[in-house]
Amino acid sequence: MPATPDDAIDYPVCSTPVPGGWQEVAPGVLWIRLSLPFQLDHINAWALDGGAAGWTLVDCGLGDRRTFAVWDELLRDALGGRPVERIVATHFHPDHIGAANWLVERTGAVFTSSLTEWLFARMLSAGTDAATDAAVERFYRRCGLASQTLDALLARKGAYSRGVPGVPATLTRLRAGDSLAVGNRLWTVIGGSGHTAEPVSLYRPAGGEGDGNGDGLALLISGDQILPRISPNISVWPTEPDADPLTDYLVSLKDWAALPADTLVLPSHGRPFRGLHRRADELALHHAERLAEIESLCETPRTAAEVTQALFPRPLDPHQTVFAVGEAVAHLNHLIRKGRLDRVSGGGKGGPDIDLYRRRASG
């Protein structure tokens, strides 16, 4: 493959696996495509050939029967019935970790992720209690959502455990900087934060001359921390309403500069691409533009629901609405932290329980 200039994004892998299918993208690295029943209709999983030690699988798809049936075929065909050594979940979201427990039980593999991602998955799959339900309702009510939308969001209760029927009971913990041996190749755990609190990415430098596997490709399995065409969701959730994940995300975007510009990025959604630095710049610009747009919108005091509507004018289903509202609040909280906006309660619009955001006069 020719070198990619620093400022270009390209997609050097020409074909895409069909749902349930796979193809090799580098020696011993399989790209697996799994279906999702959402508008975002697929997730990529990765199988790394560790030779005699067995496969390392990165991400798992949803924990539903359709995905389990696909994995049964993949284990037999794509992986040739050979053992699975470990399963890595890049983060706790259902499309990544949902089938992990089933895979652990089926294959006997070790489960690995960061501590925070595993704890989140364990917590959320255990279901909610009355206090959490009340916090969720309070959060979305303060956003000023129409009552019909609010009812639809609250009716999603239990959505996580439907996609994640179980989470492995034990963890082999990954920390940023750890090395993971897969066969004779070492992958490095890259940390970061933003899309979730402690996601895991895996980086493998280009093969050296003497290792018998010199394929010349640096690889990054990026999870959802960086994606080629869509902006990874950066959201505030009802259980941590004052969080500022956007600051974490913007810091993490800068960290990609430490990796080679022509790294082949293997993202969880979309196609493998090169142009990591350019993509990080694009995403940083996207958020800067969004922040400027929100700041000027809030010249007139706005609810989070109004800001959501301005950012995402198309009709959204309840699944998309939680991400859209969460994303709007993430930007609002970031602007508050930066001293650009104030949040005031009970401003008269819509009722006393609804927050309004307004530009700080001296801003």
Q: Which is nearer to Zn ion, 309 or 320 (CB)?
A: 320
Question: CB of residue 93 vs Zn ion: minimum separation in angstroms?
Answer: 4
Size of the site for Zn ion (CB under 5 A): 2
The least distance separating Zn ion from the CB of residue 91, rounded to whole angstroms, comes to 6
Q: How far is CA 321 from its chain centroid?
A: 17
Q: What angle do CA 232, 233, 236 make, to 5 degrees?
A: 150
Selected range binding Zn ion among 85-93, 184-192, 311-319, 322-330, rule: CB under 5 A: 85-93
3 state SS of 341: strand
Range 63-82, binding Zn ion (CB under 5 A):
none
* CB-based contact 327:234 (threshold 8 Å): yes
224 vs 327 by CB, closer to Zn ion: 224
Distance CA 289, CA 142 (A): 25
Residue 194 beta carbon to Zn ion: minimum distance, rounded to whole angstroms: 11
Could you tell me if 73 and 20 are in contact, meaning their C-beta atoms sit under 8 angstroms apart? yes
- Per-residue x/- mask for Zn ion, residues 131 to 170, rule CB under 5 A? ----------------------------------------
CB of 43 to Zn ion, least distance (A): 9
Q: How far apart are CA 13 and CA 105, in angstroms?
A: 33
Number of alpha carbons in the 13 Å side-chain half-sphere of residue 349: 17
CA-to-CA separations, 289 to 66, 292, 310, 312, in angstroms, rounded? 40, 5, 13, 14
The residues in 268-297 that bind Zn ion, with binding defined as CB under 5 A, are none
Identify which range of 32-40, 56-64, 91-99, 151-159 contacts Zn ion by CB under 5 A.
91-99
Q: How far is the CB of 195 from Zn ion (least distance, A)?
A: 6
Q: CB-wise, 4 or 101, nearer to Zn ion?
A: 101
Kindly state whether residue 93 participates in binding Zn ion, applying the rule CB under 5 A: yes
Smallest gap from Cβ 132 to Zn ion, in A, equals 21
CB of 334 to Zn ion, least distance (A): 19
Least distance in angstroms from the C-beta of 198 to Zn ion: 13
Q: Taking the complex as a whole, how short is the minimal distance between the CB of residue 226 and Zn ion, in angstroms?
A: 12
Nearer to Zn ion, 11 or 38 (CB): 38
Q: 93 vs 340, which CB is nearer to Zn ion?
A: 93
Give the residue with the Cβ less far from Zn ion, 101 or 225: 225
Spell out, one character per residue from 294 to 333, where the chain touches Zn ion: x when CB under 5 A holds, - when not: ----------------------------------------
Cα–Cα distance for residue pair 130/117, rounded to 1 Å = 23
Q: 14: how many CB neighbours lie within 10 A of its CB?
A: 6
CA 363 to chain centre: 32
Closer Cβ to Zn ion, 224 or 248, answer by number: 224
Whose Cβ is closer to Zn ion: residue 197's or residue 335's? 197
Q: Which is nearer to Zn ion, 78 or 164 (CB)?
A: 164
Buried b (16+ CB within 10 A) or exposed e, 58-93: bbbbbbbeebbebbeebbeebbeeeebbbbbbbbbb
Q: x/- contact string, 217-246, with Zn ion (CB under 5 A)?
A: -------x----------------------
The region of 186-194, 216-224, 249-257, 291-299 touching Zn ion under the rule CB under 5 A is 216-224
How far apart CA 5 and CA 278 sit, in angstroms, is 10
Task: Map residue 8 onto helix, strand or coil.
Answer: coil
Contacts of 248-253 spanning 24+ positions with Cβ under 8 A: 248/192, 248/193, 248/194, 249/193, 249/194, 249/195, 249/287, 250/194, 250/284, 250/287, 251/193, 252/192, 252/193, 252/194, 252/225, 253/226, 253/280, 253/283, 253/284
Binding interface with Zn ion (CB under 5 A): 93, 224
